[in-house]
């Protein structure tokens, strides 16, 4: 049976680090509050010259190097981002340019923090369609540009990062992406959104003054939905593959809040030593959290051939999804 398999992973973050202590001098907050409520200790933040597409390209170069695939061999580049360099062109085209991957075509997927799971699902379909193709799926975000640094409810949560995977077909029969599961519910859009900058509320001096180009969120409500929907879709993925919690070697949830991750793992009955957590170092980097975690786990030797890996993410839209794969 033809499946798509991850040949390489890569990730990249901007150099600058913003700690909880740094935030104490920016808004009325404390390291104690942020650590205990979210699990975050620090995050990486873009500086002048950093762009989403450059960070995405850096992560992809590392993934290509691991995969032994040259940029000119890439067929498709799927980028998930909510913080593109520009509204037009799409980030995929810019990543293509940075890499010199001129035989590929690139485009963006737009599903907030669940975006990488969407991008990987689409990449998987391209590979199934043409197993010899080399397809790149990326999650890349510079959320620091759409974070309201005067709003303590949100500014302590987010960070910047990019992660990428390279996929191609395998006839192995056991390894590769086993199933993908996507959902959305547009009725809940208002709980987590960016009001300004689109065509409903276009750029204006007033919009900028109110910082309405930034993320707005009803944290408590988002928290409850995140726990419920991430648990539901993970169960759906387990059931579809006739697997139980004991079969999962590594669970990689979206890194939004350590309490959300622990609650979901508890409901799924997956012990914490099989849950990948790095939120303390990066914060919530939206669609980059899952591929960055996957790359770290891979490079740390935590993934052995045959391991069952469950990816699970949730974000604005609402959008959520899970992917089950055998490493
Ligand atoms: N520092 C100090 N106090 C803060 C604070 C901060 N950075 N942010 C909020 N507070 C205060 C609130 O004002 C509130 O004060 P009050 O009781 O006097 O009104 C108090 O802390 C509790 O706020 P609450 O919102 O109930 O905290 P919480 O335990 O729900 O944690 C979040 C807040 C945002 C960390 C949590 O709701 C969360 O993680 N939600 C999900 C967010 C998310 O993951 N979004 C992205 C999804 S992809």
Element (H, E) at 302: none
Of the residues 20, 44, 90, 113, which is catalytic?
113
Protein residue whose Cα sits closest to atom 43 of ligand 1: 256
> 42 and 17 in contact (C-beta within 8 Å)?
yes
Do residue 222 and residue 130 come from a single domain?
A: no
pTM attached to this predicted model = 0.98
| pLDDT of 75 higher than 90 | yes
Expressed as residue numbers, the domain containing 20 is 3-172
3 state SS of 24:
helix
Question: For the segment 159-207, what is each residue's pLDDT rounded down to a tens digit?
Answer: 999 999 999 999 888 999 999 999 999 999 999 999 999 999 999 999 9
Do residue 160 and residue 230 come from a single domain?
A: no
State mean pLDDT over 294-299: 98
Question: For the segment 111-146, what is each residue's pLDDT rounded down to a tens digit?
Answer: 999 999 999 999 999 999 999 999 999 999 999 999
Do residue 104 and residue 237 come from a single domain?
A: no
**Spacing, Cα 73 to ligand 1 middle (Å):** 46
Do residue 120 and residue 7 come from a single domain?
A: yes
Helix 91-99 to helix 52-67 angle (10° resolution) is 50
* Domain end point (choices 122, 149, 172): 172
* Domain end point (choices 134, 151, 172): 172
Element (H, E) at 133: none
> How long, in residues, is the chain?
327
Residue 327: pLDDT band with limits 50, 70, 90? very high
Closest CA to 179 of 256, 117, 135: 117
Do residue 137 and residue 237 come from a single domain?
A: no
User: How many CB atoms neighbour CB 131 within 10 A?
Assistant: 15
Question: For the segment 249-284, what is each residue's pLDDT rounded down to a tens digit?
Answer: 999 999 999 999 999 999 999 999 999 999 999 999
> 141 and 290 in contact (C-beta within 8 Å)?
no
**Percent of the chain having pLDDT more than 70?**
100
Question: For the segment 99-112, what is each residue's pLDDT rounded down to a tens digit?
Answer: 999 999 999 999 99
To the query of whether residue 183 is one of the catalytic residues in this protein, the response is: no
* Domain end point (choices 172, 193, 225): 172
| pLDDT of 288 higher than 70 | yes
Of the residues 214, 254, 257, 298, which is catalytic?
254
Q: How many domains does the chain have?
A: 2
State both tokens at 6.
């991850």
Question: For the segment 222-238, what is each residue's pLDDT rounded down to a tens digit?
Answer: 999 999 999 999 999 99
Q: What is the CATH number of the domain that holds 55?
A: 3.40.47.10
CA 202 to chain CA mean position, Å: 27
| pLDDT of 30 higher than 70 | yes
Dihedral angle, C-alpha 255, 259, 261, 266, nearest 10 °: 170
Ligand 1 neighbours, Cβ below 6 Å, are 29, 33-34, 37-38, 113, 152-153, 156, 217, 219-220, 222-223, 226, 256-257, 284, 314-315
**DSSP assignment of 192-235:** EE--SSSSSS---HHHHHTTTTS-EE-HHHHHHHHHHHHHHHHH
Residue 2: pLDDT band with limits 50, 70, 90? confident
Do residue 161 and residue 274 come from a single domain?
A: no
**Spacing, Cα 155 to ligand 1 middle (Å):** 11
Indicate the burial class of 45 (C-beta count within 10 angstroms; 0-12, 13-18, 19 or more).
buried
Do residue 272 and residue 208 come from a single domain?
A: yes
Per-residue pLDDT at 1: 64
Protein residue whose Cα sits closest to atom 46 of ligand 1: 256
Question: Is the previous residue joined to 29 through a cis bond, with omega within 30 degrees of 0?
Answer: no
Residue 185 CB-half CA count within 13 A: 11
Do residue 189 and residue 286 come from a single domain?
A: yes
Residue 5: pLDDT band with limits 50, 70, 90? very high
Residue 43: pLDDT band with limits 50, 70, 90? very high
């Amino acid at each position: 049976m033809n499946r798509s398999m991850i040949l390489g992973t890569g990730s990249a973050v901007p150099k600058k680090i913003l700690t909880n202590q740094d935030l104490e001098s920016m808004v009325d907050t404390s390291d104690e509050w942020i650590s205990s409520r979210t699990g975050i200790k620090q995050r990486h933040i873009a500086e002048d010259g950093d762009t989403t597409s450059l960070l995405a390209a850096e992560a992809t170069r590392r993934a290509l190097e691991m995969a032994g695939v040259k940029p000119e061999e890439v067929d498709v580049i799927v980028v998930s981002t909510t913080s593109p360099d520009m509204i037009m062109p799409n980030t995929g085209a810019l990543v293509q340019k940075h890499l010199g991957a001129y035989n590929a075509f690139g485009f963006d997927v737009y599903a907030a923090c669940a975006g990488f799971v969407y991008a990987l699902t689409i990449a998987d379909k391209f590979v199934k369609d043409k197993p010899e193709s080399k397809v790149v799926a990326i999650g890349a975000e510079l959320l620091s540009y759409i974070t309201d640094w005067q709003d303590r409810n949100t500014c302590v949560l987010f960070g910047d990062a990019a992660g990428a995977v390279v996929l191609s077909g395998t006839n192995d029969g056991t390894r590769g992406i086993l199933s993908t599961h996507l959902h959305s519910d547009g009725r809940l859009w208002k709980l987590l959104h960016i009001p300004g900058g689109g065509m409903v509320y276009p750029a204006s001096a007033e919009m900028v003054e109110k910082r309405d180009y930034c993320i707005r969120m009803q944290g408590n409500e988002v928290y409850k939905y995140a726990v419920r929907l991430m648990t539901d879709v993970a169960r759906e993925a387990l059931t579809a593959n006739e697997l139980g919690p004991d079969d999962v070697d590594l669970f990689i949830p979206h890194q939004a809040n350590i309490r959300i991750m622990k609650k979901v793992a508890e409901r799924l009955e997956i012990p914490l030593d099989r849950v990948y957590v790095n939120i303390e170092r990066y914060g919530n980097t939206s669609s980059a959290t899952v591929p960055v975690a996957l790359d770290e786990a891979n490079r740390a030797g935590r993934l052995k051939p045959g391991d069952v890996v469950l990816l699970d993410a949730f974000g604005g839209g609402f959008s959520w999804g899970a992917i089950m794969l055998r490493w």
